[in-house]
Amino acid sequence: MSSTRPDLPEDGILRYFSMAFCPFSQRVHLLLAAKNIPHHKIYLTAVEDQPTLVESLIIAEYLDQQYPHPRLFPTDPLQKALDKILIERFAPVVRAVYPVLTCNANAPPDALQKFEKALDVFETELTKRGTPYFAGQTIGIVDYMIWPWFERFPSMKLNTKQRYELDAKRFEKLLKWRDLVAQDEAVQKTALDVQLHAEFQKSKTVGNPQYDIAFKGKL
């Protein structure tokens, strides 16, 4: 929890600083889980410097190099560069959906349209790749790096007036992919329930963010 700074043992074990509901932190958490990397978890109420898409990706790449089992980035350098560029193309999805996802009353009226347009890139790419995962027949880095937002999207059904859901036809491949990724062990280890995500966002919107609800029944 976040009330006092915990004593951190000097044991050389990785320290994972995180805010329980932060999707960028979850990216790193997914790698720690997928690779079974021993680590201490330290939860903060807010991350001081807002973590950026880019920094979590840099950390992920570093961890993949230092802990290569299983290898999550492509080993082919060109494919690796292309996958990293694809991951960066998720930034417009995040930017557009953020005000809706976080129940911001001032969300631009065309936010959801922009979000869907940005998400089309991923539906198209998955169709083009013709594989169940972006990485191929097994899960890989693109899948993990974009997952945290797919875990949060369903909270829009609970938190928006129009009970927003991804269109079953427009995002057919992505929705299949989502059901598949949801079964992944690392994803399940780091997952929070959609009700919790929705509840946290609402608490944040009214100016009283309930970080600790992530640990309900786990104390």
Q: Measured between alpha carbons, how far is 45 from 82 in angstroms, rounded to an integer?
A: 35
Q: Are 149 and 93 in contact (CB under 8 A)?
A: yes
Torsion of CA 203, 193, 181, 160, to 10 degrees: -50
Between residue 154 and residue 213, which ones bind a copy of itself under the rule CB under 8 A? none
Question: Which residue in the list 22, 57, 60, 145 is annotated as catalytic?
Answer: 22
For the question of residue 22 being annotated catalytic, the response is: yes
Among 8, 46, 47, 58, binds a copy of itself (CB under 8 A): 58
Specify the length of the chain in residues. Answer: 219
One symbol per residue from 59 to 98: x for binding a copy of itself (CB under 8 A), - otherwise; what is it?
x-xx--xx----------xx-xx--xx--x----------
Please classify residue 162 by burial: count the beta carbons closer than 10 Å to its beta carbon, then call 0-12 exposed, 13-18 middle and 19+ buried. Answer: exposed
Give the span between the Cα atoms of 82 and 62, in whole angstroms. Answer: 17
Shortest distance, CB of residue 216 to a copy of itself, whole angstroms? 34
The residue among 65 and 188 lying less far from a copy of itself, judged by its C-beta, is 65
Number of residues that bind a copy of itself (CB under 8 A): 16
Provide the annotated active-site residues. Answer: 22
Residues in contact with a copy of itself by the rule CB under 8 A: 52, 54-55, 58-59, 61-62, 65-66, 77-78, 80-81, 84-85, 88
